[in-house]
Amino acid sequence: MNTQSLSKVTIHFAGDSGDGIQLAGSQFTNTTALAGNDLSTFPDFPAEIRAPIGTVAGVSGFQINFGSEKIHTPGGRPDVLVAMNAAAFKKNFPNLKSGGIIVLDSAGFDKKNLRLAAYDESSTPIEDIPKEYQVYAVDITKLNREALKDLSLGSRDKDRSRNMFALGFIYFLYSRSLQTTLSFLEAKFKSKPEVLEANLRALNAGYNYGDTIEAISRFKVAPAQMEKGEYRNITGNQATALGLIAAAAKSGLELFYGSYPITPASDILHELAAHKNRGVKTFQAEDEIAAVTSAIGASFGGALAVTGTSGPGMALKTEGIGLAFMLEIPMVIVNVQRGGPSTGLPTKTEQSDLLQALYGRNGEAPIPVIAANSPADCFSSAFEAARIALEHMTPVILLTDGYIANSSEPWKFPQASSLASINPPIVKNDAHYLPYKRDEREVRSWAIPGTPGLEHRLGGLEKELETGNVSYEADNHQAMVKVRDRKVRLIAKDYPVQKLIQGPSSGPLLVLGWGNTLGAIQVAVEHALEQGLAVAQLHLKYINPLPEDLGAILSAYEKILIPELNYGQLVRIIRDQYLVEAEVLDKIKGQPFLAEEILEKIKSLVEND
């Protein structure tokens, strides 16, 4: 049997939401990470909790891009499609690379499945697959039942292990070890011996099937050359939680997280709830308003206070966020963006809450906004959001999104000594304490309740400039509005110097991004540079206030292209602030950018100049 060496591969697993697609994908990911490959994943869930079985709308997907080289995205068009039924095939086959590999459960192409997928029941689409594709049409359901025939489980329970059969076959094709998944299954089903036996047999049966049929080719992907250190595979929500824990440790404060469960932010609550041994306090509130106000109370009491949600929850938290701004207390608000408006597309990704984060409050209430750009970057972004909140005594909004939250990539453990110290301006004694007296950064000090002699009054009404007493004076209100705005703008003096990721320092085009577009832009610009196009890349983490040196960078380019998963939000801010020629490449489909989409736009702007 021929074994080919590949530098990278993209595999897409797809099936009904009950087919265990996410489990199979995550197990392949863990095995691949332990094999030393760099990787990036993208889970794609149906929008409904009980998605319609057998329909295209009910298809669950999981894509992984892995290789012996640096991986920036979950891949564009996959090299391999694993489809457990006709609907999964119909949804994903058009995206498969020409000449790719297709692994099908032929039992999922019976008349019922063809009807549910809106195919013509008189013929099977398997017969119409062009000959350039390498097709493994395997009756996985039948072979899996045969492997489990002497177990007392019912047919439905036996069929639940079909995902392990498919996974075992893919492990064989890509020369992966079964051990990681075998150990996982033994731990997961140790109290259910017959279910454990079914899954173990299914996994081995799939692997052995590949060996038995002598598959046309096997493939091998060598380990990637990665910076020396200890790594783990991490999702964005997990990294966000760990970044907040690290910030609490570095600031010497307890971490409080108040949240109401909402897709796709709920896993932050789940992860933090598992760290009670580190002094983390979590509170599952009855609604979004209770969640944000519980965080306000925790902040007033001297904790690193955080609340997390997604777009609809941000709308409900608005009044509470405005109160935290008026009190000038530190708080982090995590918005894991999803498709909207209203309930919108709860399991799909967008970057459509940027203008809400910047302007979505009554009155003049500017709040710092930073955006994470990858799953691993959520750690440093959460840490930075907490640092800004604590050191500048202000609420801070951290933007991630459903793509970043659920995707995963290798993350190198940072050393505690490498993390910056966080120094909140806590005052312990002051004979003449004034709660709204400020330092040179316009930051007020933080008096923890119960500290003798530092009793003070806080509230949502306008305050006198230093005393914090209620004031209805017109001149005082105008002065306070400008002081609070200046305090936020001065935060930009803490920013690192903005550096291009790649490309010339001046020229015809700069591709400017924020959030999850980083990887796709990076691949697109790399290809553009290889083709001789003069294009550069810059990516923003700090959205409000914008970096002080951004204007000088933008002015060195004739055009600015901003790819966004929205209808054009950052582009409006850039046009407004810098009066530059900026053009948006919008995508509002619930899916991240493909590098080829951005490359096509780059070519149209540069080559047509």
pLDDT at residue 123, rounded to an integer: 80
pTM for this model (two decimals): 0.95
Answer yes or no: are the C-beta atoms of 570 and 592 closer than 8 Å: no
Final residue in a domain of this structure, among 163, 197, 220: 220
248 and 180 fall within a common domain? no
Answer yes or no: are the C-beta atoms of 137 and 126 closer than 8 Å: yes
pLDDT at residue 609, rounded to an integer: 64
Answer yes or no: are the C-beta atoms of 138 and 104 closer than 8 Å: yes
Q: How many domains is the chain built from?
A: 3
Those residues of the chain that have pLDDT short of 50 are none
Final residue in a domain of this structure, among 384, 418, 452: 418
Asked if residue 433 is part of any domain, the answer here is: no
pLDDT at residue 50, rounded to an integer: 74
Answer yes or no: are the C-beta atoms of 465 and 483 closer than 8 Å: yes
Torsion angle of the four alpha carbons 116, 120, 122, 126, in this order, in degrees rounded to the nearest 10 = -90
269 and 414 fall within a common domain? yes
pLDDT at residue 166, rounded to an integer: 98
Q: Which residue has the tokens 């997907």?
A: 61
Asked if residue 275 is part of any domain, the answer here is: yes
178 and 29 fall within a common domain? yes
6 and 82 fall within a common domain? yes
The alpha carbon of 284 is separated from its chain's Cα centroid by a whole number of angstroms, namely 22
26 and 175 fall within a common domain? yes
What's the residue count for the chain?
A: 609
Q: How far is CA 390 from CA 394, 429, 548, in A?
A: 7, 19, 22
| Pairwise CA distance, residues 15 & 107, whole Å | 12
| Pairwise CA distance, residues 371 & 410, whole Å | 20
Answer yes or no: are the C-beta atoms of 25 and 41 closer than 8 Å: yes
Final residue in a domain of this structure, among 418, 450, 480: 418
pLDDT at residue 51, rounded to an integer: 78
Asked if residue 162 is part of any domain, the answer here is: yes
194 and 272 fall within a common domain? no
| Pairwise CA distance, residues 159 & 367, whole Å | 52
Domain containing residue 98: CATH number: 3.40.920.10
Asked if residue 387 is part of any domain, the answer here is: yes
386 and 244 fall within a common domain? yes
Q: Which residue has the tokens 């292209």?
A: 561
190 and 60 fall within a common domain? yes
| Pairwise CA distance, residues 558 & 575, whole Å | 13
Q: Which domain holds residue 150?
A: 2-220
3-class SS of residue 398:
strand
Secondary structure element (H or E) that encloses residue 364, with its range: none
Residue 547's closest CA among 582, 569, 525, 514?
514
| Pairwise CA distance, residues 415 & 517, whole Å | 28
| Pairwise CA distance, residues 538 & 50, whole Å | 41
Domain containing residue 599: CATH number: 3.40.50.920
401 and 359 fall within a common domain? yes
401 and 537 fall within a common domain? no
Sort 558 into a burial class: Cβ within 10 Å, 0-12 / 13-18 / 19+.
Answer: middle
214 and 244 fall within a common domain? no
Answer yes or no: are the C-beta atoms of 514 and 373 closer than 8 Å: yes
Domain containing residue 242: CATH number: 3.40.50.970
Asked if residue 290 is part of any domain, the answer here is: yes
Q: What is the bridge-based pairing of β-strands 8-16 and 59-67?
A: antiparallel
pLDDT at residue 431, rounded to an integer: 84
Secondary structure element (H or E) that encloses residue 116, with its range: helix 111-116
- For residue 261 the two structure tokens come to 């469960």
Torsion angle of the four alpha carbons 262, 267, 273, 277, in this order, in degrees rounded to the nearest 10 = -160
Query: Residue 493: how many CA atoms within 13 Å on its side-chain side?
Result: 10
pLDDT at residue 122, rounded to an integer: 80
| Pairwise CA distance, residues 302 & 324, whole Å | 14
- For residue 465 the two structure tokens come to 């400039």
Q: What integer best gives the mean pLDDT of the chain?
A: 95
| Pairwise CA distance, residues 184 & 341, whole Å | 39
Report, in angstroms and rounded to the nearest whole number, the Rg of the chain calculated over CA atoms: 26
Amino acid at position 17, single letter: S
Answer yes or no: are the C-beta atoms of 345 and 351 closer than 8 Å: no
Asked if residue 583 is part of any domain, the answer here is: yes
- For residue 210 the two structure tokens come to 């590949």
| Pairwise CA distance, residues 142 & 109, whole Å | 13
384 and 245 fall within a common domain? yes
Quickly list DSSP for 545-590: SPPTTHHHHHTTEEEEEEEESSSSSHHHHHHHHH---EEEEE--SS
| Pairwise CA distance, residues 289 & 309, whole Å | 11
- For residue 381 the two structure tokens come to 């972004």
| Pairwise CA distance, residues 529 & 191, whole Å | 56
| Pairwise CA distance, residues 302 & 219, whole Å | 56
Q: Which residue has the tokens 């970043």?
A: 404
Answer yes or no: are the C-beta atoms of 288 and 281 closer than 8 Å: no
Asked if residue 587 is part of any domain, the answer here is: yes
Start-to-end CA span in the chain (Å): 52
Asked if residue 476 is part of any domain, the answer here is: no
Q: Which residue has the tokens 């055009």?
A: 559
Secondary structure element (H or E) that encloses residue 331, with its range: strand 331-337
pLDDT at residue 48, rounded to an integer: 76
DSSP-derived secondary structure letter, 330 = -
Q: Which residue has the tokens 């938290």?
A: 317
Quickly list DSSP for 139-184: -HHHHHHHHTTTS---HHHHHTTHHHHHHHHHHHHTT--SHHHHHH
